Amino acid sequence: MRGIVKSSAYLPHYRLNRIDITAFFGSGKASGTRSVAAHDEDTVTMGFEAARMIVSVEGKIQPEALWFTTSEPPYMEKTNANVIHSALQLPKATSAYDFNGALKSGIGAIKTALTSNQTILLVQSDIRGGLPSSPDESQGGDAAVAFLIGDANADQLLASYLGGSSETLEFIDRWRNPREKVTKQWESRFVEDAYLPLIRGAWTEALANSSLKESDVDTVIFSGQNDRVKRQAAKIITTERFQDNVASNIGNAGAAEAGLLLLSALEHAHVGQKVALCSFNDGVEILIFEVASDNEVVNPIEHQIKNRSDLSYGKFLQWREMLPVQPPNRPAPSRISASASKRESDWKHGFIASRGDQSGLIHMPPSRLSIDETDNDDAMLMQLMAESVGKVATFTVDHLVYSQNPPVVFAVVDFNNGGRIPIEITDVGDNEVEIGMNVEPTFRKLFTADGLHNYFWKVRPIRSTKE
């Protein structure tokens, strides 16, 4: 059988209260929150955080291919999936491809992976926004999901794929010039009239292709950018609509929305239930699944929703470069070296240190020679640090160093199984840091210069999911 073997989601730590937007402009009735990627996150780093939960938990999983999907790729022409591939330390024989640009690429990549004959690690991530006060700004959300899709016995699958359908039609719904940061959209009633016949046809065909009646389907998920179409679609597909708090607490995650809603539904579903996913972006795609086993969730969406910090609207506008602010006192760094980045990729992307062959002393960054005389020359062993837990030994708050989010909190971290490093702490206020605080590594973007993103590792506090 073919379907979803494992799944995971990543939500950024920060939330923006929508009421702060309406209060700033003095109008509107928006409520709830939206998730916000931090200043040092992009779709690649968020995608990695979702994917690492699958790879680290399974350990022995070696997908044949890594596919990355987003409407906001950090790079054009250069393959973004390669960065995630390197950070995950996948074998060179594992291929890596981008499915980027259009919102439809999200559901399209899921369907293509389900109909492939390879084991696919599918990573989907998006950062959503719009002009200040716009619906896209308040109703959008930043998130990432990852799926391991392949062939397995029924009891090894999270959800088996039963079948689906596609309806494609060229019409103008939403669009954005590649040089623009915000999306334009056509009048809602026109869009509704275009989608509804497609939904009717796709639903009939999906049931036939899956050998099901509508009464056989337990719940349906609607994914798309137009809430009016979602409401009307529920009149066509009368199956019970899955209800969760993703829209009110996270927002619409664009190319990752279909995957995020599907994952949320699977986290709440029971074995044997049939779940239909209906996505409308430049056409309609319907996928029908049967829950095959209980989902052993590593970091449930509900827990991540609760584990958060509020972000001010002013800081949000600053991070999204919608509000120019006084630049840092120190000059911006120069672009990274391509040769140095390639030479040090294991350390830079994989956070791999070295360990003395006799003493076991960990060196960060890695070194050819050990400072312990008992170790042999050029005999250092590789030491993976990405899953390590450490404690803050000491820290300082720097108001002068270059940063898009000053001040910067630097700490000396002692890892529990060995290794010490001076490193930046992220996802934390300077008044929250304490000596002895437990931290874990997280893959982030240090800065961007000349269009090149300097990716490396920071640490973040380990917070209880009960907070």
- 302: closest CA among 353, 330, 260? 260
Highest mean pLDDT among 79-88, 190-199, 224-233: 79-88
Rg (CA), the chain: 23
Residue with token string 């999901």? 145
Percentage of residues in the chain with pLDDT exceeding 90? 84
Q: Which is higher by pLDDT, 188 or 121?
A: 121
CB 440 within 8 A of CB 460: yes
Give me the mean pLDDT over the 429-439 stretch. 94
Other Cβ atoms closer than 10 A to 76: 11
Rounded Cα–Cα distance for residues 320 and 112 (Å): 32
Res. 57: pLDDT tops 60 = no
Rounded Cα–Cα distance for residues 418 and 420 (Å): 7
Q: Secondary structure of 314-327 in the HEC alphabet?
A: HHHHHHCCCCCCCC
Q: Which is higher by pLDDT, 13 or 58?
A: 13
DSSP tally for the chain: helices H, then strands E: 13, 22
**The one-letter amino acid at 338:** A
Res. 60: pLDDT tops 70 = no
Tell whether domain 2-319 is in CATH 3.40.50.1700. Answer: no
**The one-letter amino acid at 356:** G
**The one-letter amino acid at 319:** W
Peptide bond between residue 73 and the one before it cis (omega within 30 degrees of 0): no
Peptide bond between residue 407 and the one before it cis (omega within 30 degrees of 0): yes
Pairing between β-strand 143-151 and β-strand 159-167 as defined by DSSP bridges: unpaired
Q: 3-state SS of the chain: helix, strand, coil percent to 5?
A: 25, 30, 45
CB 409 within 8 A of CB 424: yes
Tens-digit pLDDT profile for residues 369-411: 999 999 999 999 999 999 999 999 999 999 888 888 889 999 9
Q: If you ran DSSP here, which 8-state letter would residue 240 be given?
A: P
Instruction: Place 61 in a pLDDT band, splitting at 50, 70 and 90.
Output: low
Give me the mean pLDDT over the 337-343 stretch. 92
Instruction: Place 328 in a pLDDT band, splitting at 50, 70 and 90.
Output: confident
Which of 53-67, 243-257, 322-336 bottoms out in mean pLDDT, i.e. has the lowest?
A: 53-67
Instruction: Place 324 in a pLDDT band, splitting at 50, 70 and 90.
Output: confident
Tokens of 200: 């009717």
**The one-letter amino acid at 451:** G
Give me the mean pLDDT over the 316-325 stretch. 92
CB 127 within 8 A of CB 12: no
Res. 208: pLDDT tops 60 = yes
Rounded Cα–Cα distance for residues 383 and 37 (Å): 30
CB 247 within 8 A of CB 126: no
**Domain residue spans in the chain?**
2-319, 343-351+387-467, 352-385
CB 21 within 8 A of CB 133: yes
Predicted confidence at residue 152, as pLDDT, reads 87
Cα 338–chain centre separation: 26
- 363: closest CA among 339, 379, 343? 379
Tens-digit pLDDT profile for residues 126-174: 999 999 999 999 999 999 999 999 998 877 899 999 999 999 999 999 9
Helix or strand run (H / E) with residue 222? strand 219-224
Give me the mean pLDDT over the 304-320 stretch. 94
Rounded Cα–Cα distance for residues 4 and 113 (Å): 10
Rounded Cα–Cα distance for residues 81 and 299 (Å): 23
CB 240 within 8 A of CB 219: yes
Tell whether domain 343-351+387-467 is in CATH 1.10.3430. Answer: no
Rounded Cα–Cα distance for residues 350 and 369 (Å): 20
Predicted confidence at residue 55, as pLDDT, reads 86
Instruction: Place 467 in a pLDDT band, splitting at 50, 70 and 90.
Output: very low
Angle, vertex CA 346, rays to CA 343 and CA 348, nearest 5: 80
Q: Which is higher by pLDDT, 430 or 57?
A: 430
Quick one: 448 exposed, middle or buried, by C-beta within 10 A (0-12, 13-18, 19+)? middle
CB 396 within 8 A of CB 445: no
Tokens of 244: 């969760």
Predicted confidence at residue 466, as pLDDT, reads 43
Predicted confidence at residue 327, as pLDDT, reads 79
Predicted confidence at residue 381, as pLDDT, reads 96
Q: What is the mean pLDDT of the chain?
A: 93
Highest mean pLDDT among 52-61, 213-222, 287-296, 396-405: 213-222
Predicted confidence at residue 413, as pLDDT, reads 98
